[in-house]
Amino acid sequence: MASNARFAEVASLAGDPARAAMLHALMDGRAFTASELARVARVTPQTASGHLAKMVAANLVQVEPQGRHRYHRLATPAVAQMIESIMQVASSLEMKRAAPVTGPRDAALRAARTCYDHLAGQLGVALADALVAGGYVALTRDAGMVTDAGITLFGEIGIVGMDAAALSAGHGKNGRVLCRPCLDWSERRPHLAGAVGAALCARAFDAGWIRRVEGTRGVTVTAAGRRIFCEGIGMRGFWLD
Amino acid sequence: MASNARFAEVASLAGDPARAAMLHALMDGRAFTASELARVARVTPQTASGHLAKMVAANLVQVEPQGRHRYHRLATPAVAQMIESIMQVASSLEMKRAAPVTGPRDAALRAARTCYDHLAGQLGVALADALVAGGYVALTRDAGMVTDAGITLFGEIGIVGMDAAALSAGHGKNGRVLCRPCLDWSERRPHLAGAVGAALCARAFDAGWIRRVEGTRGVTVTAAGRRIFCEGIGMRGFWLD
DNA sequence: GCCATGCTTCGGTCTGCGCCGAAACATTTG
DNA sequence: CAAATGTTTCGGCGCAGACCGAAGCATGGC
C-alpha cells in the first residue's frame, strides 16, 4: 500500500487553510502570481511561496515564469475535479451543521461564477435547467447528453467543434454528444460541465455574454448575454422577470 | 469565504496517513469495525477510535452500532467520489515520480477490485472495453451511454430496473440510459461507474460471477463469471486466451 | 452474577509544520 | 548602475494534533 502515502500527501496538501484558499482561487482556471495568492490566503508572500513550492512539487499546481512574475495555475483538470469533489463533500457538511453566514461576497458568487472551465452558481443551474426543459440536453445524476436539437442550437449560437472533443472515444454513435453534469455546491442542483460546459463557457466569454468580476471567480451577464440566454436558450428565473 | 474552512477541514481529514488508510479500506463499500480499521491503518484501537469519531462528526463516515460492534461505512457516494478523485491525482503523481514498487498485493488489486460500488482494475477496464467494442455502451472522457443493444444485453444477463435509477432527472428521453465513466487509477483507462456500473457489479456478486478476496478490496472471477464475461459480453484480454 | 471482548475517554509526550522577520536573489525600470 | 518590485531561503517560535498507555463503559457469552 505505497500509494496510500501519495493519497495522504495530496489530501493533506489541500487540507491546509492557506493552501485551500489558494486552490479555491485557482479554481477559476486563470493563473495568478504568488503575491496575489498570498493575499487571498491572507498570509505573507514568503509563506505563500513555500506553500506553492510544495504544491508545484506534488504536481497540483503548474508554474510559468514570466519576467519577474511567476504565474501559477492548476496543473491538470484532474486537480480541478478533485477540488470540486472536496467542495461537494464540504458543502454538504455545511448544510448539515448550520445555516452558513453568507456575506455579500458569497451572494455574488452564488449568483454566477466559473468553476474551473465552466459556469456554475444560479446562472449555471438556470442555463442547465433551460437546456433540459427545451429538450436540448438530457441530464442524470451520472451523466448527460446533448440531443440533436441541442447540437443545432449550439451551432446557431456559435459553439462548434464540440463533437470532436467530446466524442473522442464514443465515435459519434447515434449522433449524440455526451457531457458531464456537475452538482453545484451552492445550489445543490446539477449544471453543465465537461467539454460541453467548457465550450459553452468559453463561447460566452468570447462573445461578451458574460464578464469576469475583477478579483473574484464571479461573473456578470451582459445585456447581450441576457438576450442570448433568455431568448436563444430560453432561460428563466435567473432574473426576476 | 467561510466555506473555505470546511473545505480544508474535509481535505485535512483525508490527509492523515492513518485516516487515509481507513478511507481506502472503506472504498469497497462494505462496513468495518473500528478494530479492523485500526489494523489496516496500523494504529492502536484507541487511536483509530479517535480518527473515526472525527470522520463521523464531519459526515465522511457513517456508523451503525450492532451489538458490541460498531460498523463504519462511507457516509455518501459523494465521499467515495471524492476519495476516487484524490486517488486519481495521487496516482498521476506516482507515475510522475518513479516506477512504483509493486508487491503481489498490489498486483492482485490491479487485476480486479471493487471501487466503492463498481468494478475496477484490469477486469473493470476489460469489461468496459468489451461493452464499447460490442456497441453496447458508448464512453467518452466525460460521460457514457448504454445503447439499445446494451439495454437488451443487460436485460438478458439479469440487470433490470437500471433505467429508473439512472434516468431520474433525464426522464428517459430518447430511451437511453446514461452512465458515468471512471478513469481507473491503476490502468489509466476508463471503466464503467455510476448507477449502471453499480448495477452490473451488484448483479455479478449476486449471480456468483465474482467473489471477494477475503480481507482486501480484490475480487476473483468464478468459472460462471468467466463464461458470462467472455461469451455473453465478449470480454477479451483479461485472461491469456 | 462473572469475565471476555470491543470501543471510548483521559492525560501526557512529542513530532511536524505553518507562520513570520530578516535577508538574499532575480528582474524590470529609470 | 541604482532603486523598486516580486519571489525565495533561512532560522526560530509556537501551536495543533497524532500517538500510546491506562483506565472506564458498554455488550454478549457463560
Closest nt to B35 (CA→C1')? C6
- Is residue A212 scored above 80 in pLDDT? yes
Instruction: Please give the single-letter amino acid code of residue A33.
Output: T
| Strand C nucleotides in reach of protein CB atoms, 7 A cut-off | 5-10, 17-23, 26-28
Q: A68 with A175, same domain?
A: no
Instruction: Please state which of the ranges A156-160, A225-229, B152-156 shows the lowest mean pLDDT.
Output: A156-160
> Which chain B residues contact residue A216 at CB under 8 A?
none
CB A179, CB A192: distance < 8 Å:
yes
> pLDDT value at position B234?
93
Q: Where are the alpha helices (DSSP H) in B27-137?
A: 34-41, 45-57, 77-97, 104-111, 121-133
> pLDDT value at position A237?
83
Residue of chain B nearest A40, judged by CA positions: B1
CB contact under 8 A, A16 and B12: yes
Q: B137 with B185, same domain?
A: yes
Which residue is nearest to the C1' sugar atom of C22, using CA?
A46
> pLDDT value at position B241?
58
Instruction: Please state which of the ranges A144-158, B156-170, B179-193 shows the lowest mean pLDDT.
Output: B156-170
- Is residue A78 scored above 50 in pLDDT? yes
Q: Is the CB of A35 under 7 A from strand C?
A: no
Q: How far apart are CA A36 and CA A72, in angstroms?
A: 10
Q: Looking at chain A, which runs of residues are DSSP E strands?
A: 32-33, 61-66, 69-74, 113-115, 118-120, 137-139, 144-146, 177-183, 190-193, 210-212, 219-221
Grid coordinates standing for A236? 428563466
Which of B9, B10, B54, B91 should one mutate to test binding to chain A, selecting the residue with the greatest count of A CBs within 10 A? Answer: B10
Grid coordinates standing for B40? 489496516
Grid coordinates standing for B61? 463516515
CB contact under 8 A, B79 and A87: no
The string of pLDDT tens digits covering residues B185-241 is 889 899 999 999 999 999 999 999 999 988 788 999 999 999 999 999 999 988 865
CB contact under 8 A, B8 and A1: no
For chain A, the first-to-last Cα distance in angstroms comes to: 57
Q: Is the CB of B46 under 7 A from strand C?
A: yes
Q: B108 with B191, same domain?
A: yes
CATH of the domain at B41: 1.10.10.10
Closest nt to A53 (CA→C1')? D8
Read off the pLDDT band of A161 (50, 70, 90).
Answer: low
CB contact under 8 A, A88 and B78: yes
Residue A231 has what DSSP assignment?
I
- 3-state SS record for A207-229: CCCEEECCCCCEEEECHHHHHHH
The string of pLDDT tens digits covering residues B62-82 is 999 988 899 999 999 999 999
Q: A110 with A225, same domain?
A: yes
Q: How far apart are CA A3 and CA B97, in angstroms?
A: 12
Distance from CA of B206 to the nearest CA of A (A): 23
Q: B112 with B216, same domain?
A: yes
The string of pLDDT tens digits covering residues A5-26 is 999 999 999 999 999 999 999 9
> pLDDT value at position A170?
42
- Is residue A200 scored above 80 in pLDDT? yes
Q: A71 with A111, same domain?
A: no
Distance from CA of B187 to the nearest CA of A (A): 14
**CB neighbourhood size of B78 (10 A):** 18
Q: B111 with B225, same domain?
A: yes
Q: A224 with A167, same domain?
A: yes
> pLDDT value at position B169?
39
Residue of chain A nearest B140, judged by CA positions: A169
CB contact under 8 A, A4 and B15: no
Distance from CA of A7 to the nearest CA of B (A): 5
> Which chain B residues contact residue A13 at CB under 8 A?
15
Domain boundary among B76, B96, B123: B76
CB A15, CB A9: distance < 8 Å:
no
Establish if B94 belongs to a structural domain.
Answer: no
Establish if A162 belongs to a structural domain.
Answer: yes
Establish if B177 belongs to a structural domain.
Answer: yes
CB B88, CB B193: distance < 8 Å:
no
Phi, psi for A120 (deg, rounded to 5):
-140, -170
Q: B66 with B110, same domain?
A: no
Q: How far apart are CA B124 and CA B201, in angstroms?
A: 10
The structural domain count of chain B equals: 2
A166 → closest Cβ in B20, B142, B195: B142
Establish if A214 belongs to a structural domain.
Answer: yes
> pLDDT value at position B67?
86
Q: Which of residues 2-41 of B touch strand C (CB under 7 A)?
A: 33-36
> pLDDT value at position A169?
40
- Is residue A162 scored above 80 in pLDDT? no
Distance from CA of B160 to the nearest CA of A (A): 18
Which residues form the domain of A74?
3-78
Q: A126 with A221, same domain?
A: yes
> pLDDT value at position A36?
94
Q: Where are the alpha helices (DSSP H) in B99-208?
A: 104-111, 121-133, 148-156, 162-166, 194-206
Q: A125 with A173, same domain?
A: yes
> pLDDT value at position B202?
93
Share of chain A above pLDDT 70, in %: 88
- Is residue B5 scored above 70 in pLDDT? yes
> pLDDT value at position A89?
95
Residue matched to cell numbers 453496447: B136
Establish if A110 belongs to a structural domain.
Answer: yes
Establish if B81 belongs to a structural domain.
Answer: no
Read off the pLDDT band of B172 (50, 70, 90).
Answer: very low
**CB neighbourhood size of B26 (10 A):** 26
The string of pLDDT tens digits covering residues A31-63 is 999 999 999 999 999 999 999 999 999 999 999
Q: A52 with A124, same domain?
A: no
Establish if A198 belongs to a structural domain.
Answer: yes
**B78 CA – C16 C1', rounded, Å:** 30
Read off the pLDDT band of B161 (50, 70, 90).
Answer: low
Q: How far apart are CA B57 and CA B72, in angstroms?
A: 13
Average pLDDT of chain B to the nearest whole number: 88
**B104 CA – D13 C1', rounded, Å:** 46
Establish if B210 belongs to a structural domain.
Answer: yes
